[in-house]
A and B are shown apart, each in its own frame.
Chain A
Amino acid sequence: MKKLVVRKLEPVRTSSAAEC
C-alpha cells in the first residue's frame, strides 16, 4: 500500500519586535 502523506503547513506571520 502506497501511503500518501498529508502535511499541514505552518502559519506565516512575519514579525518585528516592538522594543532593547
Chain B
Amino acid sequence: MVGYGPDALVAVRPFAQQREGDSVTIGDLERQVFLSIPAEGLDILDSLSTGNTVGEAARRYEQKYGETPDIDDFLQVLAAEGFVASHVATSNGGRDTKPAPAPRWTWTASWITPAIARRVSSWPVAVICVAAVVFSVYLVANDPPLFKDASILLFPEHFAALTWATVALSLIGVLIHELGHLVTARATGVPTRIGFGNRLYYIVAETHMTEIWLRPKRERYRAFLAGPLIDLTTISSLIIFRSAGRQGWIEVPWAVDQLAAALVFVTTIRFVWQTFLFVRTDFYYVIATMFNCKNLMADTEVFLRNMFARLRRSGNVVDQSGIPPKEMRTVRSYALVWLVGRAIAIGVLLIVIFPLLFGYITEGVRYLTGQPSLFGTIDFLTIVALSFIFQGGGVLLWMRSIYRGRKDRQRSGSIPQREPVSAP
C-alpha cells in the first residue's frame, strides 16, 4: 500500500464519536463499523477533514503533544477500515465503503418507535419487574414445590401435546427476552433488529445493536441486562400464577399448571445459559464492558492461537502489543474461561448429544426395516423431532460458522490479523 506523503490530502468519511476515558469511539453509521482510537488521534482526523495536508496535521499534533505521531501507520489502518481515503482514491469511488448489507432473516419491529421504547424502558417498569422477582422468591421460600426440577418435563399425561406447547411458549419467551434488548437499546436511539444465529451448537435468537458502542456505559449495561431481567420476571410471574392456583384464589386446570411449572424450569435454564461466558451471551457483554474490553472474544482467540503457535514453534504470531496491559490481563484470565467452558460444551456434545442422536437414527432404521422399535409412539417421535431440529440444526449452524470463520481469516486484512510477525 502506498504511504501518505506530507503534501497528501485525505478525505475523511463522516463519523460519529463518543469519548471513553482517554480513547474515543468513532463509528461509521452507514456501514456500522466502530473503532477505538486514542483521543489525540481525533485531532488528526479533525485537522485532515478541514482540508489540512498530512504534514500540516502532523505538525499541529507535535505542537500540541510534543511528540511525532506515526501518522502514516494511523491512516493506513483507518483506510483499511474505510474511514479515510486519499483524494485520488475517492474520485475512483473509494474502497470498502459500501453500506452494510441488511442481514437476511431479521425483524426490526419498526412499530416500536424510539419514543415508545423510551416509555417502556422506564424506572417504574424495572421496579415492577424487581418487585415481582422479590415476591416470587418469598412465595417459593414458603412453598418450595412451586419450583420443580427437570423431572417436570416428563409429563405423565399428554406428553407430546404438553412438550410441544412448552417449546412453543418457550420460544415466545425467547422473543420477549429479545424484545427487552431491542426496546432498551432503541430507547437510546440505536438501530436494532432481531435475528437468529448460533453460539457453538446452541441455536439462539439475537438482537443486533452494535451502535450501542456510541452510548455511555450505563446505557449499555441497561440494554444487556434487560434480557436476563425479563427472564427473571417471566419466571416470577409464572410462580405467582401457580401460587394463586395452589392457594385457591384462581381455578387452574392440571395441564395449565404443568405447563406453567415446565416453563419456570426451561426459563430458569435459559437464564443459567446466560452465564456461559465462553460464548457471546448477555453476561459476556456485561463482563467485557466492565473490564473496558474492545473485543474480548477475538483478542482471546488470537492470544490462544499465538500460544499454540509458540508451543508448536511454527505458524504466525499476531502482534498484540497494541492492547493495553490491563486489558491483556483480562484476556489471559478469560482465556481460561474460554478453554474450560468450551471443553465442557464440546464434551457434552460428544458424550451426550451425539450418542442420543445416533441412538434415534438407529431406532429409526429398526422401525423402517420392520424390527421392533420405539418409533411407534407420538411421544418418542416428539423427542426425536425436537432433538434434530434444535440440536442437529445447532450443530449444522456451528459447522457453517467455523467454515466461514476460516475462510474469512484466510482472506482478511482486518486489524486483529494485520501484522503477522514470525515466531520468536
Number of interface residues of A (CB under 8 A): 20
**B281 touching A10, Cβ below 8 Å:** no
The segment from B112-120, B195-203, B304-312 that touches chain A is: B195-203
Residue among A11, A12, A19 with the most chain B CB within 10 A?
A: A12
Q: Is the interface of B mostly helix, strand, loop or mixed?
A: helix
**A9 touching B196, Cβ below 8 Å:** no
| A11 to B179 alpha-carbon distance, docked (Å) | 18
**Binary contact track A1-20/B, C-beta < 8 Å → 1, others 0:** 11111111111111111111
Residues of chain B with a CB closer than 8 A to A8's CB:
33-36, 81, 294-295, 414-416
Query: How many cross-chain pairs have Cβ atoms below 8 Å apart between A and B?
Result: 142
Q: How far is the CB of A17 from chain B (nearest CB, A)?
A: 5
**A13 touching B197, Cβ below 8 Å:** yes
The segment from B131-139, B204-212, B355-363, B375-383 that touches chain A is: B204-212
Residues of chain B with a CB closer than 8 A to A15's CB:
197, 199, 204-207, 280-282
**A13 touching B209, Cβ below 8 Å:** yes
Residues of chain A with a CB closer than 8 A to B195's CB:
13
Residues of chain B with a CB closer than 8 A to A13's CB:
195, 197, 206-210, 280
Q: Confirm or deny: B223 has a beta carbon within 8 angstroms of a beta carbon on chain A.
A: yes
Q: How far is the CB of A5 from chain B (nearest CB, A)?
A: 4
**A17 touching B273, Cβ below 8 Å:** yes
Known A-B contacts A14-B227, A15-B206, A18-B204; A6 and B74 likewise in contact (beta carbons under 8 Å) = yes
Residues of chain A with a CB closer than 8 A to B25's CB:
9
The segment from B86-94, B122-130, B166-174, B242-250 that touches chain A is: B166-174
Q: Confirm or deny: B68 has a beta carbon within 8 angstroms of a beta carbon on chain A.
A: yes
Number of interface residues of B (CB under 8 A): 71
| A18 to B202 alpha-carbon distance, docked (Å) | 7
**Binary contact track B156-189/A, C-beta < 8 Å → 1, others 0:** 0000000000010011001001100100000000
**A17 touching B40, Cβ below 8 Å:** no
CB nearest neighbor in A for B78: A6
**B390 touching A14, Cβ below 8 Å:** no
Which of A5, A11, A19 is close to B322, meaning CB atoms less than 8 Å apart? Answer: A5
Residues of chain A with a CB closer than 8 A to B77's CB:
6
| A19 to B172 alpha-carbon distance, docked (Å) | 11
Q: How far is the CB of A19 from chain B (nearest CB, A)?
A: 4
Residues of chain B with a CB closer than 8 A to A3's CB:
70, 73-74, 322
**B170 touching A2, Cβ below 8 Å:** no
Residues of chain A with a CB closer than 8 A to B288's CB:
10
Q: How far is the CB of A8 from chain B (nearest CB, A)?
A: 5
Residues of chain B with a CB closer than 8 A to A7's CB:
35-37, 294-295, 322-323, 415
Q: How far is the CB of A7 from chain B (nearest CB, A)?
A: 5
**Binary contact track B53-90/A, C-beta < 8 Å → 1, others 0:** 00000000000010111110110011001000000000
Q: How far is the CB of B185 from chain A (nearest CB, A)?
A: 8
Closest 3 CB pairs of A and B: A10-B295, A5-B322, A15-B204
Residues on B lying within 8 angstroms of A by beta carbon are 25, 33-38, 40-41, 44, 65, 67-71, 73-74, 77-78, 81, 150, 167, 170-171, 174, 177-178, 181, 195-197, 199, 202-210, 212-213, 223-224, 227, 231, 265-266, 269-270, 273-274, 280-282, 285, 288, 294-298, 322-323, 386, 390, 414-416
Question: What are 9 A-B contacts defined by CB distance under 8 Å?
Answer: A5-B37, A8-B294, A9-B295, A13-B210, A14-B282, A15-B282, A19-B167, A19-B266, A20-B266
